[in-house]
Amino acid sequence: MDRSGVNPETLTRTVQDFLSGAAGAVVLEDGAVAFDLGQAKYSISGEHSKCLLHLWSAERNTVRRVLDAEVKSGVLRLAVQRLGQTRPSKLEICRERDRRSPTAKKACRAAYEHKLRRALERHFPEFGIERLTTGVDLEKSFGPIYARGILRRGQSGLAVLGVNEQELQSSVDAALTFGILWMDVCRGNFQGQSRQLQNPHFWQNRPEVGHPGSSAHSRSRSFFVEGLCLFVPVGSSAVVRERMAHLNQGAAKWRLFEFDERDDAVVEVDCSDRGNVATRLVHAPNESAALERFAESIARVRGILPNCELAVLSAAEIGFRWRGLEFARARLGGGTGYGSLGRSRTLNAEDTERDPESQSPHPVAQNATRVGHPVSNSPGPLHSECRQEIVFGVGAEERVLEDRNFALFVQLLTALREGRHPYGSRQSTLFRMHPERWLESLVRSDVSVIDERLETESAYSQVPAFSAADRAMLDVLTLTREGRLAVVELKADEDIHLPLQGLDYWARVEWHHARGEFERFGYFAGREIAAETPLLLLVAPALHVHPATDTILKYLAPEIEWEFVGIDERWREEVRVVFRKRAGQFHHGDSEARRIGA
């Protein structure tokens, strides 16, 4: 990668083009993950004959001068120079988080299959092992990531699904979805399982790879699959445990194990013990005070893009969105950082000579366009003499608004107005970005379109709720007219994980509700929240509902009152309910359909 003739403008364009299509990419330095662009931010500039890449997160802040760039096999490889050093080093930005080769993945999964078999033989000696496989069965949504099989003892059996320690945490968290589907396949996917399994014709003509069949069939054609045994790596079970705790305990036996591949150790996890659940809720900000505080910034942005949406993120930060897509933030600058990722910074070429790399997550903006006067009329830490700054960009890119880049800001807002509307070009990046946020903005404007029981005046969007495993953002949290909490989870595209992701959010809301934290933390001011457990509403376009959704929903705990709402495919033009399903009942929406404008 030695191309001395590459100029800074070309390098800047190469890096920008790659990063614009690499949402959620990871940045590696010296072989280790330095930044996750699903959470971190970046800015890039190509001025003064130098291409500078700035990356920052809550943990660290890094600036590199880019000397050369090459894109190969989904990886952007950069030759970079640390500030104050002359020797170049390497930086890699990978679209795929799992950087193993297909051959390495296959070998690892095959080895895990053998390890899991040995562990089952040792720890479940009273059971016989039916065929164990990582074979692909796309018809039933099974890929090669998970090992699947059956433990059998006489006339009863247990479905088995395991995931190895080399897979991504997201694959571990998703294991329960595929475990439920595998168990259901083993049960026959029919009502009256015992009757079906005892039918001598049931297993005929079902030779799919990994499907319970020939070996079981040769010994006996009637056995009952009682439940699921799920095996995950050590220390990775938090999300799966919480989900499993809210499944129907009367529909199946649910057992979760942590499997240490190195020591062949298997430890069962108690899913009923939620005493140490680590989740916390953030306080609801005073929206009217925040909007008043940022009145000048709001006027400036809305002077260019009228009617853009405002989102109060905290007492010291607000977001600007266009049809759900965030394109700018206004925040208090020049002091302690309040945002989740600290402060962005605009770098001048001379910074490369005089500014060593900072590990502070709160760099101070240079030459920033400041708005308003020092803040001194708000409580707590906001008494400090802070001025406002505006940062802009879509996705992970972010830069401080300055006089010299104001034209770029106007250009971005113009592109949003002209391209991100219901009849915009489907080929436009701005049109395609974050469709769920677009749908959320429409639902948030009148959440009663989804269910007439819901109150629009009380709706919150993107409510942060933290757990030990991740930082979750509830799509919409609202109340019914009777004061009952309702969790609304939205998907704009087909997603097999919708039911259990909705279950995650429901469980967190239920946890905080049981402790009275919504009232104490300032949510739904002036309203009395009913003691009932929350409602769960799952929303998706009617033709983009994954075929496995019904199967997963039927295994949710009976105390969870859920509703699935299918909306018209043309939801960008207007949101219209075309069917709804509650506890297995479909209601076609012709007579009850309601609409909201795009």
Split at pLDDT 50, 70, 90, the class of 572 is very high
> Is residue 367's pLDDT more than 80?
no
What is the three-class DSSP state of 353?
A: helix
In angstroms, the CA 303 to CA 297 distance is 10
Region 197-203: mean pLDDT is 39
Region 129-155: mean pLDDT is 88
Point out which residues pair with 320 in neighbouring strands. Answer: 310, 328
Burial class (CB in 10 A: 0-12, 13-18, 19+), 594: middle
Min mean pLDDT across 219-228, 357-366, 437-446, 523-532 is at 357-366
Q: What integer pLDDT is reported at residue 379 of this predicted model?
A: 41
Cα distances from 33 to residues 70, 77, 236, 363, 471, in angstroms, run 19, 14, 19, 21, 19
Q: What percent of the chain has pLDDT over 70?
A: 79
Digit-coded pLDDT (tens) for 495-532: 999 999 999 999 999 999 999 999 999 999 889 999 99
Q: What integer pLDDT is reported at residue 31 of this predicted model?
A: 77
Q: What integer pLDDT is reported at residue 58 of this predicted model?
A: 80
Split at pLDDT 50, 70, 90, the class of 124 is very high
DSSP state for residue 364 in the 8-state scheme: P
Cβ atoms of residues 330 and 363 within 8 Å: no
Query: Which range, 211-215, 254-258, 398-402, 580-584, has the best average confidence (pLDDT)?
Result: 254-258
Q: What integer pLDDT is reported at residue 193 of this predicted model?
A: 44
Top pLDDT among 343 and 187 is at 187
In angstroms, the CA 503 to CA 521 distance is 22
With b meaning 16 or more CB within 10 Å and e meaning fewer, what string describes 415-436?
bbbebbeeebeeeeebbebbbb
User: 10 Å Cβ neighbour count for 89?
Assistant: 14
Q: What integer pLDDT is reported at residue 192 of this predicted model?
A: 43
Region 18-39: mean pLDDT is 84
Which residue type does 66 have?
V
pTM of the model: 0.80
Min mean pLDDT across 246-260, 425-439, 580-594 is at 580-594
Which domains, from first to last, does the chain contain?
Answer: 8-94 (2.70.180), 102-269 (no CATH), 287-430 (no CATH), 435-588 (3.40.1350.10)
Digit-coded pLDDT (tens) for 451-470: 999 998 888 887 766 554 55
Digit-coded pLDDT (tens) for 73-84: 788 999 999 877
Min mean pLDDT across 98-112, 258-272, 296-310, 466-480 is at 466-480
Q: What integer pLDDT is reported at residue 347 of this predicted model?
A: 43
Region 145-163: mean pLDDT is 94
Min mean pLDDT across 224-238, 259-273, 286-300, 359-373 is at 359-373
